[in-house]
């Protein structure tokens, strides 16, 4: 640490001349020190600190190389003037596991041309973009098959402070981490679209295969929009990545599956924490937010999901995170702006009342139409109501609420038939605990007393039975209380 402080003090002494040295140039002790007139940017001191931090080693164990699209010198990568002009060219200069660093100049820009157009396949190299905002190193994708890869031999590769921009519809990936690459770091980067509602990444980061373990994806920004064009699927998609850490990231934009998505093959001991996740975009109301979870993992993936804030419009808070075998703590969910709706914990709390709504359209004659699925334990239904939102146009239909037990497949009527003949918009139906019907208890699906609640429903489905074709639209509202932890109620 004393050595690092001394180096920084010496660097500051050299910033007074008109032909000031960069931090990296000074440390290289003589590589064209006076050949580039750039004032010492505070970012360079930050990079020195970063270089000293990675691996716990002092700066100088590896070589430093430079990338600048505007360089006019010898293109050997030894200084800013003699920088190579592409990141891919710099990979030929680095050595595996040597602690090498590649600095990319402020304002550097490249257009990615083809799959794996940049292939970072040398182990232990740190790539750092120098600059903030518009001065960040910028990589633009102009066909939907362009990509940057961290190769299978690129263990311990670090990508820091890059800006990735999709300029066409449905670019498959910005970064692909290949199967078998371990200990990679992607941090402080920005992923964005060039044109709103037109351009997007399908999976911005894809960790693509077996044994890509111990990776870190932190402090990045995924800046999406209403990009329904090519169907953005996720911001981070990973497969079989044990000990993966995803933290401190910001996600926004329409998304098809989840911003953090474990598509196939379980991972073990993952950590997902302290992320801000918006499934939609700023300006959305609850009615137009996505209905996707913020985090969705393979059921047998294990690990910890803590202190994430998720904005989406799932049916119940438990669906904001889908991760059956992970431990959850401190995660919150919201779907309304302006403080009208307090954050609530992700997961259904036993004894707390929730509401779920199913908008039900045309129903065939003599058909059981599924409305809700109950899994993980029983619920008490404390209120059940219907509202006609599209006129029923003269149908002489009667409906009956039923429940089917998941274990035995036994079906039980929960109510007497309700006449819905020729009902206009705004007509409402209610199932009152004063007279919900008198039924014989079967497997726990039973009518309770008239003191409320209405029904006790064991894991299974709730259905609407119609005796004739019913072509109107009814919104069904169910208020319920889970009785044990782990209950999940979903729309059918």
Tens digits of residue pLDDT in 184-206: 999 999 999 888 778 889 999 99
How much is the pLDDT for 99? 93
CA distances from 361 to 76, 218, 387, 392 (A): 68, 44, 12, 10
Which of 282, 340, 330, 333 is closest to 307 using CA atoms?
330
How much is the pLDDT for 35? 33
How much is the pLDDT for 5? 46
Instruction: Count CB-CB contacts under 10 A for residue 413.
Output: 15
Q: How far apart are CA 403 and CA 384, in angstroms?
A: 13
Q: The CATH number of 2-345 is which of 2.40.128, 3.40.50, 2.40.160, 2.160.20?
A: 2.160.20
Q: How far apart are CA 252 and CA 210, in angstroms?
A: 28
For the record, the structure tokens of 308 come out as 């994430």
Q: How far apart are CA 74 and CA 350, in angstroms?
A: 69
The residue ranges of the chain whose pLDDT is under 70 are 1-60, 227-230, 286, 339-342, 361-367, 392-401, 415-422, 431-453, 467-470
Q: How far apart are CA 8 and CA 27, in angstroms?
A: 10
CB 380 within 8 A of CB 480: yes
The DSSP letter of residue 210 is T
How much is the pLDDT for 387? 80
Instruction: Count CB-CB contacts under 10 A for residue 63.
Output: 17
Helix-helix angle 42-53:2-13, to 10 degrees: 160
Q: How far apart are CA 459 and CA 248, in angstroms?
A: 37
Q: How far apart are CA 238 and CA 156, in angstroms?
A: 17
The DSSP letter of residue 47 is H
How much is the pLDDT for 194? 84
Q: How many helices (H) and strands (E) does the chain have?
A: 4, 40
Q: How far apart are CA 156 and CA 172, in angstroms?
A: 24
Which residues fall within 8 angstroms of residue 16, CB to CB, at 6 or more apart? none
Cα 36–Cα 186–Cα 189 angle in degrees, nearest 5:
60
For the record, the structure tokens of 220 come out as 């990045």
- Annotate 270-332 with DSSP letters as a single string: EEEES-EEESB-TT--TTTS--S-SEE--TT--EEEES-EEE---SSGGGGEE-TTEEEES-E
Residue-range domain boundaries for the chain: 2-345, 354-491
Under DSSP, is residue 49 helix (H, G, I), strand (E, B) or coil? helix
How much is the pLDDT for 235? 96
Backbone conformation region of residue 426, classed left if phi is above 0, alpha if psi is from -120 to 50, else beta: left
**CA-based max dimension of the chain:** 93
Sign of the dihedral defined by the CA atoms of residues 392, 397, 398, 404, in that order: negative
CB 450 within 8 A of CB 371: no
How much is the pLDDT for 470? 64
Cα 190 off chain centre by: 14
Which of 62, 49, 65 is closest to 99 using CA atoms?
62
How much is the pLDDT for 86? 95
How much is the pLDDT for 349? 85
Q: How far apart are CA 413 and CA 445, in angstroms?
A: 9
Query: Hey, what CATH topology would domain 354-491 get?
Result: Jelly Rolls (2.60.120)
How much is the pLDDT for 375? 87
pLDDT in tens, 152-179: 999 999 999 999 999 998 899 999 999 9
pTM score of the predicted model:
0.76
């Amino acid at each position: 640490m004393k050595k690092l402080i001394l180096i920084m003090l010496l660097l500051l002494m050299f910033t007074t001349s008109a032909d000031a040295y960069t931090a990296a140039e000074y440390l290289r002790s003589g590589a064209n020190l006076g050949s580039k007139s750039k004032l010492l940017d505070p970012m360079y001191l930050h990079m020195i600190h970063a270089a000293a931090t990675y691996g716990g080693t002092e700066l100088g164990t590896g070589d430093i190389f430079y990338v600048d699209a505007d360089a006019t010198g010898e293109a050997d990568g030894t200084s800013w003037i003699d920088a190579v002009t592409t990141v891919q060219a710099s990979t030929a200069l680095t050595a595996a596991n040597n602690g090498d660093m590649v600095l990319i100049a402020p304002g550097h820009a490249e257009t990615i041309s083809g799959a794996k157009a940049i292939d970072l396949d040398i182990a232990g190299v740190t790539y750092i973009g120098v600059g903030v905002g518009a001065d960040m190193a910028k990589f633009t994708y102009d066909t939907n098959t362009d990509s940057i890869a961290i190769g299978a031999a690129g263990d311990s590769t670090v990508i820091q402070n890059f800006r990735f921009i999709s300029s066409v519809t449905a670019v498959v990936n910005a970064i692909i981490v290949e199967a078998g690459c371990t200990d990679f770091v992607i941090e402080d980067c920005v992923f964005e679209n060039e044109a709103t509602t037109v351009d997007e990444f399908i999976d911005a980061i894809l960790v693509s295969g077996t044994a890509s373990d111990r990776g870190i994806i932190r402090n990045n920004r995924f800046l999406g929009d209403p990009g329904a064009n090519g169907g953005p699927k996720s911001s981070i998609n990973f497969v079989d990545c044990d000990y993966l850490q995803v933290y401190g990231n910001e996600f926004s934009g329409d998304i098809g599956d989840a911003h953090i998505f474990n598509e196939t093959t379980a991972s073990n001991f993952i950590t997902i924490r302290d992320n801000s996740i918006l499934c939609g975009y700023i300006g959305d109301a609850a009615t137009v937010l996505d209905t996707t979870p913020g985090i969705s993992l393979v059921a047998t993936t294990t690990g910890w999901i803590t202190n994430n804030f998720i904005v989406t419009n799932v049916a119940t808070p438990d669906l904001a995170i889908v991760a059956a075998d992970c431990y959850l703590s401190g995660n919150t969910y919201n779907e309304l702006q302006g403080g009208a709706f307090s954050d609530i914990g992700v997961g259904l709390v036993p004894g707390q009342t929730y509401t779920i709504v199913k908008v039900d359209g045309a129903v065939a004659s003599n058909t059981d139409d599924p409305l809700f699925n109950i899994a993980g334990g029983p619920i008490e239904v404390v209120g059940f109501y219907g509202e006609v939102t599209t006129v029923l146009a003269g149908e002489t239909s009667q409906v009956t609420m039923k429940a089917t037990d998941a274990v035995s497949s036994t079906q039980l009527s929960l109510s007497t038939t309700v006449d819905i003949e020729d009902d206009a918009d705004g007509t409402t139906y209610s199932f009152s605990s004063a007279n919900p019907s008198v039924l014989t208890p079967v497997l726990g699906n039973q009518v309770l007393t008239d003191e409320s609640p209405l029904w006790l429903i064991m894991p299974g489905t709730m259905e609407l039975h119609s005796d004739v074709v019913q072509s109107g639209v009814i919104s069904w509202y169910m208020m319920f209380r889970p009785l044990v932890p782990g209950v999940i109620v979903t729309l059918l």
